[in-house]
Structure 1
Amino acid sequence: MITDTISPKEALVKYFGFTQFKGEQELIIESILAGHHTFVIMPTGGGKSLCYQLPALMRSGTAIVVSPLIALMKNQVDAIRGVSEHEGVAHFLNSSLNKSEIQRVKDDVNSGITKLLYMAPESLTKQDYIDFLREADVSFFAVDEAHCISEWGHDFRPEYRRLRAIIEEIKYAPIIALTATATEKVQQDIRKNLGMTDEKVFKASFNRPNLYYEVRPKKDVAREIIKFVKTKPGKSGIVYCLSRKKVEEIAEALKVNGIKALPYHAGMDANQRSNHQDAFLNEDVDVIVATIAFGMGIDKPDVRFVIHHDIPKSIESYYQETGRGGRDGGEGDCLAFYSYKDIEKLEKFLHGKHISEMEIGRQLLQEIVSYAESSMCRRKFILHYFGEEFDSDDCGGMCDNCRYPKEEFEGKDAIHLILETIKETKEKHKARHILNVLTGSETAEVKTYRDDELEIFGAGKDEDEKYWHAAIRQANLRGLLHKEIETYGTLHITEKGHEFLKNPVSFMLIKENDYSDVDDAFEGGRDGGRASSDEALYKMLISLRKDISAKKGLPPYVIFQDPSIQEMATNYPITKEELTHIVGVGAGKASKFGKPFLELISKYVDENEIERPQDFVVKSVVNKSGLKVHIIQNIDRKVPLDDIARAKGKELEEIIGEIEAIVGSGTRVNIDYYINHILDEEDQEDIYAYFMEAESEELQEAYDEFDGDYTEDQLRLMRVKFMSEVAN
């Protein structure tokens, strides 16, 4: 029953002070007021919340809003209270409340004051709350973040799948389901699970024309993020990281470089998280560095950039997180750093899960790989993923691929061969199988289906897998192929594809992005690449290093490693402090070997009137890692490395990696007590002598030199001993 006799437009002015609805908001609100089940697919920033908030204020009774996060509830409750004279107009009911607070909520609902009651799905399953709501006057149910219902959604929550049964147990009332990210498969799951057979569907375009999309290779990320943020002084932004540890590191790096930033992750206590969120909303800080827990329901319209330190696990996650940028229609830069190593880490998280969940997870990961590596218009790719066609061939320079287009080449024969292979293999395989048939890989699956006996087997072996992956991706994006979601990515030929088979026409393929040149070894350090280094200076520094190594009787890599020399030739350090910012150069190395290098660089800069990069002075964060401190203290006490590893719940390899990082930063450690237990004196001398004569510190070369007589761990530990004693 509608209590407000005014129209939705008049109610909009009365409650929110707006004079115009956005998109289909008015039609959605009228659908709910008329008592229809309503399904809303609307991108972040499209105004989903208003679609249930306004009808809740207009109708008698209380609307139950199912919401997944306490932070989201708090933010929305505060917003609704701000437009009403009664504080009880909106409440949340969850585990954060004490008994007296819960009773107050129930009293306000029973008295008719409360128009919106936010509840987590877990709370809604409690019998006490079900009994309470049975007696309440429920106007309708709003299921926010409805994609959580589907296993194919990017944030599946099993509790969401129980909602229909619980709603039916409480009482019949209209349901409005809302989501910002839903593929056709996810939409079907939501409808089916909520029993919305006669619903009114409202689907807005997923296109956010004001967002600029860019993917960069994951190389020297901390420095790149600092440089980028410094180009947006005073502007609000979010940096997403996968791990809590990385959140803390990046937030600290931003702070020491004069950027107002705070961390946000689930490991912090609720008060601290709330304070950091409020500081960001109130613009006391410019940047929040967060895990994906941050941002859902955060109504901040002027977020000017969203950076992904790590690539997300699905296109849906990426779309939702980037969607928090530019919600006011203004500038919104979306920058993601990509390395296939991150995908491999995410794949490891899938191990041990149910087979169907693993298959779904792998397919979602492959889609994000395709997005990252694609050289086609990123906007077109995203919209195609959500079942929406983008009319134009490009987005007018609003993604890196369109702004900096890649080389094109004729791919008619390649596409024809792909389609022919899919046809010959009966259209019942995923891309991986098609690649194996094309390249002549005799895998178990290929042999099982006897596809190695096909005439077409190996017809594409002249090109590598990356080439065929790209061609399949582009054929799919341009409508010649269809990827069947139900069967985890089986490829089918479309009508357009069959037409191409009969009558092949020119099909220009775009050369793919190459992200193989990534360097995670010095994560958080400096760029080890040669792309922008000064070749003349680089050669002079190499020559100087050779002279010094000859005089001191040391291998060149002990003085400074190649990445260090390359970066010196890029950033021209001329002071000892600046030299310590170079990758692989700690204070010890700068003191021991730095002077002649600084003199050479300084002279070169003067003689050639070099303008040094202004952004070079990116301060590094003093490593406060508790683990590193723990390791150093325990090595001083001569605790066996295996025991150190066990005490921290880690593998020995991880502890050795930490020790390598400690030594690499210029700190000396003495692990003789441990090495003496695993290698006799003669073996130690042989390995030590090898590293003294070797041109490279590469382990594989050392392993080959000794014909596998020593394990990788033994060689790594001897290299630590050598570098600690000689280089530091």
Structure 2
Amino acid sequence: MPDLQQLTTTLKEYFGYDSFRPLQSEIIASIFDGNDNLVIMPTGGGKSICYQLPALLLPGITLVISPLIALMKDQVDGLLANGISAAFVNSSQTTEEQQSIYQKLLDKEIKLLYIAPESLSFLDAIFAQIELSLIAIDEAHCISAWGHDFRPAYTQLGYLKNRFPKIPLIALTATADKATRQDICDQLNIPNATHHIASFDRKNLSLEVRPGNKRIEQIFSFLSDKTNDSGIIYCLSRKTTETLAEKLREQGFTAEAYHAGINHDQRAKVQEDFINDTIQIVCATIAFGMGIDKSNVRWVIHYNLPKNIEGYYQEIGRAGRDGLPSSTLLFHSYADIVQLQKFADMSGNKEVQLAKLDRMKQYADSLSCRRKILLSYFGELIEQDCGNCDVCKNPPEFIDGTIIAQKALSCVTRIKEEEPIGTVIDVLRGAQNTTVYDKGYQNLKTYGIANDIAWRDWQQYIIQLTNQGYLEIAFHQNNKLKLTPIAKKVLFEGEKVSLAHLKAFEKTKESIIKPIDKGTAPDLFERLRQLRLQLAKEEGIPAYQIFNDATLKEMEKFRPMSDDEFIQINGVGRQKMQNYGYQFIKAIIEFSNEKSKTAKKKKAKKGNTHKETLSLYQKGLSIEEIAIQRKLASSTIFSHIVKLYNEGESIDLTHFIDKKDILAIKNAQKELNHPEGLKPYFEHFEGAIDYNTIKLGLLMIKEDKNI
């Protein structure tokens, strides 16, 4: 094995660093000792060097399995720039290009070969003729059904260790919970791998979560002091990336969309331009950013709720890799939940995906330090709040929750950490159901010790205890609640626990507008009745025990589309909200969307389309959001707004234009001596202020002489 001096010299010569980052030298030493290794190191932590540097000093070739063409290209380009002989093989190449690389392998002219798992079979003949010294599996979480980005092609990789048992194998990923770590090792046939888990604490990242209303306006506000900073906006849909990029360009930002529907050359250009700071903002689906070493991303926005914490953490980790302060912002809404639940329904591991989505939602709704939640999720427990997230900066009112915590943790202990949250609450509250009695939980000392606390309140308290790191969810064991090492401090060492007062969770409900009577809809009632019948059959209970007809009629009448609206329906209690809310809300949303599409067609035929815009405006949607929903151009929606204003409708024009733009337009009006038309203004501003904004500004100046 090379000594530390030789390793450090190689590090400086090829990578430009004077010293190793935490864990890098230990991992490299383990490779030279011939060990298999599992490396969990957050984005920007320096995972690649852990196999790239040994590759230079080992006698043979290092094989790197990588999931994305873009990632391979970026890695290989970086190695070549550092004077390291590397190549990749994937479907983007011609047969001639691949044959040329195979020949270079045989001629020992390549030290690192990157390849997609799908292409491994093409190298069978080559393997017998070359010397392999190391196998690296990048983005190793892709092999696990418990992971956040499962790729079936990765599951074949277990044969590598069987075929090359004496060659060390290193599996690397930025994010993996306990279940995923174990699954990676099992599937790769490296049960004795040395585990190297770096700290997940990125103190330079500020964390903020906001409700997803008027997102575009909030994004413009967020970016108002970041005009020259690079950033990424992650979206669920391809359409949103394109629409958002267009809106950003209209505001003067250099922004481009990035998703799988764009051809390979264009995606490569967007990626390259972003790396080279030619493009400031990329609006992307989750595929963007893997393996891209851009250190000066100053902010990351999630336009929609991510599907799990692993993906969220990996994506925000693309900000601030240079260690400088950087910002993250997450939007979330119930509509996001519905969409992500649909995705989970189509996945091969539905139950796991839904459980992880629920954990993501709990993070977004949390009243606990967000950094503490992220770190505890990956098994890293900290005692102090971070002070750099929105919850820490605006903390809720707290209560002494020590007794509540002791009861919950004691109950989890008594049931031997064998049950999920619902059963734990049932035992605490003394429920008389089959699960409790079949397992004899009614005989436990903790049975019924907290029946004075409502089921939904207990749910919130246990989520808080999980968020604070006293409990964890074993996703690979049917979501059983487990105690963490710091739980014993509460149970046996007298540690105090503070819990957020639950009235903080009720604040949003106090300001909820009472539901509007939307009239009868027999088709909806029948749809809800059929859903009730289906659920009743699945549970083997009478349909009326789910909801009676009167409750369904009220749903038909008020059509609730969120948790807060649904809980206001007579006959919906907290338990039934928990059990059935998602299915009924989903059905109502689907019905309303269908009805909305029909209504749009009818209104368009009647030539009264601007009234529909008024309806959406009154619901609080922005011009951009109305345009997306109505599938019309923003300029068309803008003309509707102006028309509605001129017709005397209550339209607040200040929502659509900044004061500074009004002032600039007024000054231009004086300089240009009140010209006719909009073009002179547009040319005066050299396109920096669009026609719509100019038109609106002139209208407001005309209406109000004091502006």
TM over 0.5: yes
- Tell me what 2:100 maps to: 104
1:250 to 240, 244, 247: 244
Note the C-alpha offset of 1:158: 2.6
Structure 1 residues 418-461: Cα deviation after superposition (integer angstroms, max 9, x where no partner): 45665776754311334456678888767877989999669547
CA–CA distance in structure 2, aligned partners of residues 419 and 248 of structure 1: 48
The percent identity for this pair of structures is 38
Indicate the larger mover: 114-123 or 450-459. 450-459
Note the C-alpha offset of 1:301: 0.4
- Tell me what 1:118 maps to: 114
Secondary structure of 1:135 counterpart? coil
- Tell me what 2:291 maps to: 297
CA–CA distance in structure 2, aligned partners of residues 313 and 123 of structure 1: 29
Indicate the larger mover: 436-445 or 59-68. 436-445
1:333 to 327, 330, 341: 327
Is the contact between residue 73 and residue 118 of structure 1 (CA under 8 Å) also seen in structure 2? yes
- Tell me what 1:65 maps to: 64
- Tell me what 1:689 maps to: none
2:642 is the counterpart of 1:590: yes
**Residue identity opposite 2:642 in structure 1:** A
Is the contact between residue 421 and residue 481 of structure 2 (CA under 8 Å) also seen in structure 1? yes
CA–CA distance in structure 1, aligned partners of residues 127 and 647 of structure 2: 76
C-alpha distance 267-501 of structure 1, shift in aligned 2 (>3 A): same
Is the contact between residue 61 and residue 131 of structure 2 (CA under 8 Å) also seen in structure 1? yes
Secondary structure of 1:470 counterpart? helix
Is the contact between residue 152 and residue 186 of structure 1 (CA under 8 Å) also seen in structure 2? yes
- Tell me what 1:311 maps to: 305
- Tell me what 2:142 maps to: 148
Secondary structure of 1:109 counterpart? helix
C-alpha distance 17-561 of structure 1, shift in aligned 2 (>3 A): closer
- Tell me what 1:635 maps to: none
- Tell me what 1:199 maps to: 193
CA–CA distance in structure 2, aligned partners of residues 594 and 506 of structure 1: 62
1:369 to 355, 361, 378: 361
CA–CA distance in structure 2, aligned partners of residues 500 and 13 of structure 1: 48
Structure 1 residues 170-189: Cα deviation after superposition (integer angstroms, max 9, x where no partner): 67411121111122222222
2:358 is the counterpart of 1:360: no
- Tell me what 1:379 maps to: 371
1:90 to 72, 83, 86: 86
Is the contact between residue 227 and residue 615 of structure 1 (CA under 8 Å) also seen in structure 2? no
- Tell me what 1:264 maps to: 258
- Tell me what 1:50 maps to: 49
CA–CA distance in structure 2, aligned partners of residues 171 and 450 of structure 1: 48
CA–CA distance in structure 2, aligned partners of residues 600 and 103 of structure 1: 65
TM-score by length of 1: 0.68
CA–CA distance in structure 1, aligned partners of residues 169 and 34 of structure 2: 9
Note the C-alpha offset of 1:77: 0.6
- Tell me what 2:271 maps to: 277
C-alpha distance 353-209 of structure 1, shift in aligned 2 (>3 A): closer
- Tell me what 1:130 maps to: 124
C-alpha distance 359-599 of structure 1, shift in aligned 2 (>3 A): closer
Note the C-alpha offset of 1:52: 1.1
C-alpha distance 439-77 of structure 1, shift in aligned 2 (>3 A): same
Note the C-alpha offset of 1:485: 3.6
Indicate the larger mover: 149-158 or 159-168. 159-168
Is the contact between residue 614 and residue 644 of structure 2 (CA under 8 Å) also seen in structure 1? no
CA–CA distance in structure 2, aligned partners of residues 303 and 407 of structure 1: 35
CA–CA distance in structure 2, aligned partners of residues 481 and 587 of structure 1: 54
Structure 1 residues 126-180: Cα deviation after superposition (integer angstroms, max 9, x where no partner): 2x31221221121211111112222211112232232131343367411121111
Is the contact between residue 134 and residue 170 of structure 1 (CA under 8 Å) also seen in structure 2? no
- Tell me what 1:409 maps to: 399
Is the contact between residue 412 and residue 483 of structure 2 (CA under 8 Å) also seen in structure 1? yes
- Tell me what 2:419 maps to: 429
2:460 to 450, 455, 470: 470
Is the contact between residue 241 and residue 284 of structure 2 (CA under 8 Å) also seen in structure 1? yes
CA–CA distance in structure 2, aligned partners of residues 490 and 164 of structure 1: 28
- Tell me what 2:281 maps to: 287
CA–CA distance in structure 1, aligned partners of residues 652 and 160 of structure 2: 75
Indicate the larger mover: 189-198 or 319-328. 189-198
Note the C-alpha offset of 1:14: 1.8
- Tell me what 2:519 maps to: none
Secondary structure of 1:182 counterpart? coil
Secondary structure of 1:486 counterpart? helix
Is the contact between residue 215 and residue 336 of structure 1 (CA under 8 Å) also seen in structure 2? yes
C-alpha distance 31-558 of structure 1, shift in aligned 2 (>3 A): closer
**Residue identity opposite 1:117 in structure 2:** L
Secondary structure of 1:202 counterpart? strand
CA RMSD of aligned residues (A): 3.9
C-alpha distance 108-187 of structure 1, shift in aligned 2 (>3 A): same
Note the C-alpha offset of 1:246: 1.1
Is the contact between residue 161 and residue 188 of structure 2 (CA under 8 Å) also seen in structure 1? no
Is the contact between residue 217 and residue 518 of structure 1 (CA under 8 Å) also seen in structure 2? no
Is the contact between residue 9 and residue 26 of structure 1 (CA under 8 Å) also seen in structure 2? no
- Tell me what 1:233 maps to: 227
CA–CA distance in structure 1, aligned partners of residues 207 and 419 of structure 2: 32
Is the contact between residue 254 and residue 261 of structure 1 (CA under 8 Å) also seen in structure 2? yes
Gaps of 5+ in 2: 514-610, 623-631, 664-707
CA–CA distance in structure 2, aligned partners of residues 238 and 599 of structure 1: 33
Is the contact between residue 241 and residue 292 of structure 1 (CA under 8 Å) also seen in structure 2? yes
- Tell me what 2:680 maps to: none
Is the contact between residue 247 and residue 289 of structure 1 (CA under 8 Å) also seen in structure 2? yes
C-alpha distance 63-612 of structure 1, shift in aligned 2 (>3 A): closer
**Residue identity opposite 2:104 in structure 1:** D
**Residue identity opposite 1:74 in structure 2:** K
Is the contact between residue 148 and residue 155 of structure 1 (CA under 8 Å) also seen in structure 2? yes
CA–CA distance in structure 2, aligned partners of residues 176 and 600 of structure 1: 60
Indicate the larger mover: 257-266 or 410-419. 410-419
Is the contact between residue 254 and residue 279 of structure 2 (CA under 8 Å) also seen in structure 1? yes
CA–CA distance in structure 2, aligned partners of residues 484 and 598 of structure 1: 53
**Residue identity opposite 2:194 in structure 1:** K
Note the C-alpha offset of 1:566: 7.7
Is the contact between residue 375 and residue 511 of structure 1 (CA under 8 Å) also seen in structure 2? no
Pairing of 1:702-717 with structure 2 (within 5 A): none
CA–CA distance in structure 1, aligned partners of residues 435 and 421 of structure 2: 13
- Tell me what 1:510 maps to: 500
**Residue identity opposite 2:252 in structure 1:** G
Indicate the larger mover: 41-50 or 451-460. 451-460
Matched positions, count: 552
**Residue identity opposite 1:430 in structure 2:** P
Is the contact between residue 376 and residue 468 of structure 2 (CA under 8 Å) also seen in structure 1? no
**Residue identity opposite 1:217 in structure 2:** P
Secondary structure of 2:477 counterpart? coil
C-alpha distance 58-616 of structure 1, shift in aligned 2 (>3 A): farther
2:165 is the counterpart of 1:166: no
Note the C-alpha offset of 1:498: 7.5
Note the C-alpha offset of 1:587: 2.2
C-alpha distance 158-566 of structure 1, shift in aligned 2 (>3 A): closer
CA–CA distance in structure 1, aligned partners of residues 115 and 61 of structure 2: 12
Gaps of 5+ in 1: 520-556, 569-579, 606-610, 618-728
2:376 is the counterpart of 1:394: no
**Residue identity opposite 1:72 in structure 2:** L
Secondary structure of 2:473 counterpart? strand
- Tell me what 2:21 maps to: 22
**Residue identity opposite 1:68 in structure 2:** P
**Residue identity opposite 1:241 in structure 2:** C
